[in-house]
Chains A and B, each alone.
Chain A
Amino acid sequence: MTLDQIQPGNDCRIIDLFSRDKLGKRLLSMGFFPGLELRVVRNAPLNDPMEIEIGTSFLSLRRHEARYIEVEPA
C-alpha cells in the first residue's frame, strides 16, 4: 500500500520510493528512506495535503506525492 492510504494516527514503515525525479530527490533530502518508520499525524482541513511525523520533525506533503511512497503498516 502507499502512504496516502494510511489514516491519521497510524504508524507505517517505508518500503520503497517510486519517484526518481525531483520528487524522489526532495523526499530523500528531507529524510525519507526505505526502512524509515513514520506516523501520519493529520490531514489538512480539505483532506489534502497530509502531515506526517518522522523522528523529531513534522513534514507535510500532497496526497499525489504520498502515492509514490510504498509503505507497510508498522
Chain B
Amino acid sequence: MSRNRTVRIALAGQPNCGKSTLFNALTGANQRVANWPGVTVDKLSGWTRISDKKVEIIDLPGTYSLTSSSPEERVTRGYLLHDKPDLVVNVVDASNLRQGLSLTLQLLEMGLPLIVNLNMMDAAEKTGIKITISTLERLLQVPVIPSTMHRSQGKQELLHAIGDRLLEPPQQTPCKIDYGAMESYLQEMESRLAGHITGSVSLPLRWASVKLLEGDDQVRTQLRETVDNAAYLITFANELRYRYEEQHRYAPELHTSKSRHQQVGRIVQMATSRPVVKTALSEKIDRVVCNRVAGPLILLGIMYLLYYCSIVLGYKVTEYTWPLLAKLHHLAETVTPAPGFLHIPLIRGYALWLTDSVTALLNYLPVFFILFLLIALLEDSGYMPRMAFITDRLLHRFGLHGQSVLPMVLSGVYVGGCAVPGVMSCKGIPDEQSRMATILTLPLLNCQAKVPLYILLVNAYFTQHKGFAMFFISTISLLLVLPVAKLLTLTLLKNKETAPFVMEMPSYHLPTLRGVLGKAFERIWQYLRKITTIVAAVASIIFVLLQFPGLSTERQAHYAGEQQRLLDQYQKATAGTVYQQYGNSDTAIMPLVLYQDAYKKAKQGASGDTATAAVNARFQREQPLFYTLVQPGEAPDATRANRALRKLAHGRELLLVEMRQERLEGSLLGKAGKALEPLSQWAGFDWRVNVALLSSLAAKENSVATLGALYEQTGGEASLEDRISGQNTGFTPLHALTLMLFMVLYPPCIATSVAVKVQTGSYRWMLLSIGYPILLGFGVAALVFSVAQAAELTGLQAMYGFYALAFAITLATGLLKKNSKTIIEPQPEQNLATVCNEAGQ
C-alpha cells in the first residue's frame, strides 16, 4: 500500500447492528453526508487517524444481504466490488448472530479483507448468550473484536486490530460456504469464468459463480459490460441453473440461501453456549405495545406527545427566542439608511423584508430542534418499526406505508406541523412508490404557517360555528391526503418500484444522550444551511415583484404635493414658536418625526414607573428641545406644537399606507393578481386575495401579512378581521371557505420544495409537487364556489356538503383495489432460446 494514498475503510453490516454508533465513535465530528450517485441513499463518510495514517471511513447502508434487490444493497455491493476498500469492518449484532453472520459469509465470499466487529455485547449477555470469541475467529478465519460501542467499550481494541490488519495482510484463508450438492455446478461455472475472464477484469470468481447460478441480474449486466464472451458465459450459467433445478427440484437461490444459513447455524452452535430460554425484554414490551387494544392507544398517545412537545411547547419557547430575532430586525433598522418623509430608501425596505423573511423561518428553530430530538429518540429506541406494524394495514390501503405515519404527524395531521421535517423523515420508507406518494401528499397537511389564515377567516366569517369550522379545517386535510395518495399511486406513481414490507422488528434500545443530540444537531444544521439560503433568494425575488415598477412620476408629484400640504399645516400651527423652523422642509422635519416615533416605542417597551422615568431621562438628555415638544407639560407653545406634530405624523402614516397600496397594486405581482382575476373569480378570489396567495409562495406566513397590507385602512383602528369582513369587500363566508380550501391544498413552500427535491432526487417531482396542488386546489375551490352559488348554499352549508363529499371519496378510494402485479407475477426464467438470440445479435 503506497504511503501517500488515503486508506479507505468501509463499515458494512445489517440495519440496527450499531454501525452508526461505531461510525460516530470513529470519526467524531469529521463527517460529511452526500448522496450515492443515482439514488437517494445517504453516503456517509468521515475520517480519522489510525496508527498515524489518515484513514477515510465510509459508512455503507445497512443491508441484510448482498443481492441486488434494493437500492441499499446495490449501493453496498457496487462499492465493495468496484471501489475496493482497503479493509471492511463488518459490524455484527452479537445478540443476533444468526442474522449477522449470514452477511459476514457473503462478504468473505467476495474475497474482501475483513475484520468482524461483534457489537452490542452487553445486549447479548443480557439475553444469556455466551460467545467464545476464539472459536468464532477459528471458524471464520478472520479477526473478531467484541465491543459495546455505545459505552465506548472495545474501541481501542478495534483500532489496534484495524492498524495491525492494515500493516500486514492476513495469512489465513477465510472460511468458505459449503454448498453441498451444488459444489460441482459451481466448480464448472468457476472454471468457465476463469477461462474467459482476463486479468484486467477483477471479479471474485467463486462469488460470481454463486451469483450467476442464483440468477442475479447485476452480475450478468457486469459481465456484458466487461467481458467479450459474456453471452456465452451467461447462457452457460442459465443452462447450469436449469440443470440444477431439473435434478434437485429446487431453485438454486433457495439452496444457496439454505446452505449459508445452515453453515451459520453450525458456527453459532459451536461458538455460543445455548442461551437460557427466556422471553426477551423486547418481546415482553411488545406484548403491550403491539397489543390489539393498547397498541393503537399507545401510538396515539406518543403521537400526541410528539405534537404537544414540539409544536405546542416549541411555540412557547419561541416566545422567548423571538425577542432575540426581533433584535435582528432592529439591527437592520439601525444599520440601513433612515427613512425620509415619504421616501423609504430601497435598500432599507429590502434589508427589512429579507431579515423578516429569514427570521420568520429561524423562529421555527426551537420547534424543529425539539422535533428532531424526539424523532431521534423514537428512532434510536426501536419504536418506529412497531408504529409501522400497527398502522400499515390502514395506510397501505391508500398506497401509503406503515412508515408514513411519522412524516404525516410531523407535517400536521391535526393542526400545526411542518412539512419540511416531514418530507425529510420519509427517507426511511423502503417502498419507493409509497415513499413518493407520502412525499407528494405531505404538503397538503396543515402546516403551522397555514393556521394564521384559517384563524383569521374562521374568526371573521364563522364566528357562530367556530368549533365546527376548526374541526373541519383540521380534519379535511387528511380526507384529501388519503384519496390523493391513492390516486397518485394508481396513476403517476404506477410504475414506481414497490418493495416487500418484510422488515425486522429490532430489540428495543435505551437511546444514548450523545446519539440523540448528535442526530438532532446534524439535522437542524442541515435544515439551516439548505433552507435559509434559498428562502433568502426567493424572498428577494418576491420583494422585486412587489416593489416594481413603482409609482409613476405624476403620482410621485401628487404625493410630493401632499407632503408639502402637511408641512405647511405644521408651520401654520407652530407659527411663532421655536419649533416652526422644522417645518421648512421634509429633511428638516424628519429628526423630529423619528425622535417622536422612537420615544413612543421606547415608552411602550418600558414597564413600570422607574423604567418610564429612565426612558424620559434618556430622551431628555439626548435632545432637550425635542423633549419639550413630546412632553409639553403646561407650556402653551409646546402643547400647540405637540398637537401639530402628531397631526403631521398621522398624516404621514396615512400617505405611506396609501403609497404602499398603490405601489402594490401597480407592482408586477399586483398586475399578476389582477390578470388572474377573470380566472380566479370562479373560486371567488379577487385580485387582493390573488396577490396574497402569490406572495405566500415563498412562505405561507406571508398570506396574512399581505392581506393585512392590502386591506390596510386609512385610520385603521379596526382589526383585520373586521376590515376584510366589512361590507365593502364583497367577501362572504363562502369566499372564506374556498380560500381556506385553497390554502389546505396550497403548494409547498420553498423550504418544503427544496426538501422534496432532495428526497426525490429530481426537479421534475419537485415541480409536480408544486403544480398539482395548484390545479387541485383551484379545481376544488372553483367547484365548491360554483356549486354553492348555483344551489344558493351558505358558506356553512357548503362546508358540511364538502366534508361529506370528501369523506365519501376517501372511503371509496380506500376500497379501490390496487393492482399489485409487481409482487404476484414470478419473473419467468429466461430460456435458452432468447439468450442465444441475444448472443447472436
Q: Which residues of A contact B (CB under 8 A)?
A: 16-36, 41-42, 44-49, 51, 55-62, 64-65
For the complex, what is the distance from the CA of A65 to the CA of B102, rounded to whole Å? 22
For the complex, what is the distance from the CA of A66 to the CA of B702, rounded to whole Å? 51
Shortest distance between the CB of A69 and any CB in chain B (Å): 10
Shortest distance between the CB of A13 and any CB in chain B (Å): 13
Q: Is the CB of A33 within 8 A of B254?
A: yes
Q: Which residues of A contact B402 (CB under 8 A)?
A: 49
B390 within 8 A of A: yes
**B393's contact among A16, A26, A27, A44, by CB below 8 Å, is which?**
A44
**B99's contact among A22, A33, A46, A57, by CB below 8 Å, is which?**
A57
Q: Which residues of A contact B250 (CB under 8 A)?
A: 34
Q: List 9 A-B contacts (CB under 8 A).
A: A21-B823, A23-B502, A29-B73, A51-B290, A57-B98, A58-B506, A60-B385, A60-B502, A65-B500
Q: Which residues of A contact B281 (CB under 8 A)?
A: none
For the complex, what is the distance from the CA of A27 to the CA of B65, rounded to whole Å? 10
Q: Is the CB of B390 within 8 A of A20?
A: no
Most B CB contacts (10 A, CB to CB) among A17, A34, A44 go to: A44
For the complex, what is the distance from the CA of A23 to the CA of B823, rounded to whole Å? 7
B244 within 8 A of A: no
Q: Which residues of A contact B219 (CB under 8 A)?
A: none
**A20's contact among B63, B394, B826, by CB below 8 Å, is which?**
B826
Shortest distance between the CB of A62 and any CB in chain B (Å): 5
**A25's contact among B97, B253, B385, by CB below 8 Å, is which?**
B253
Known: A33-B261, A46-B393. A22 touches B820 (CB 8 A): no
Q: Is the CB of B505 within 8 A of A60?
A: yes
B504 within 8 A of A: yes
Known: A45-B290, A62-B501, A64-B820. A28 touches B825 (CB 8 A): no
Given contacts A21-B827, A26-B69, A51-B290, 20 further A-B contacts (CB under 8 A): A23-B500, A26-B500, A28-B65, A28-B254, A28-B257, A29-B257, A30-B502, A33-B254, A45-B295, A45-B390, A46-B394, A47-B393, A56-B96, A57-B99, A57-B504, A58-B504, A58-B506, A60-B501, A60-B502, A64-B823
Shortest distance between the CB of A49 and any CB in chain B (Å): 6
Q: Is the CB of A45 within 8 A of B504?
A: no
The list of the 10 closest CB pairs from A to B, nearest first, reads A29-B65, A46-B393, A33-B258, A58-B505, A28-B257, A25-B69, A55-B98, A61-B502, A26-B500, A23-B500
Q: Which residues of B contact A27 (CB under 8 A)?
A: 500, 502
With CB as the reference atom, state the residue of chain A lying closest to B499: A22
B residues 394-429 touching A (CB-CB < 8 Å):
394, 396, 402
B residues 344-366 touching A (CB-CB < 8 Å):
none
With CB as the reference atom, state the residue of chain A lying closest to B396: A62
Q: Which residues of A contact B261 (CB under 8 A)?
A: 31, 33, 36
Shortest distance between the CB of A68 and any CB in chain B (Å): 8
Shortest distance between the CB of B120 and any CB in chain A (Å): 12
B42 within 8 A of A: no
Shortest distance between the CB of A23 and any CB in chain B (Å): 4
For the complex, what is the distance from the CA of A49 to the CA of B505, rounded to whole Å? 12
Q: Is the CB of A21 within 8 A of B825?
A: yes
For the complex, what is the distance from the CA of A32 to the CA of B504, rounded to whole Å? 12
B21 within 8 A of A: no
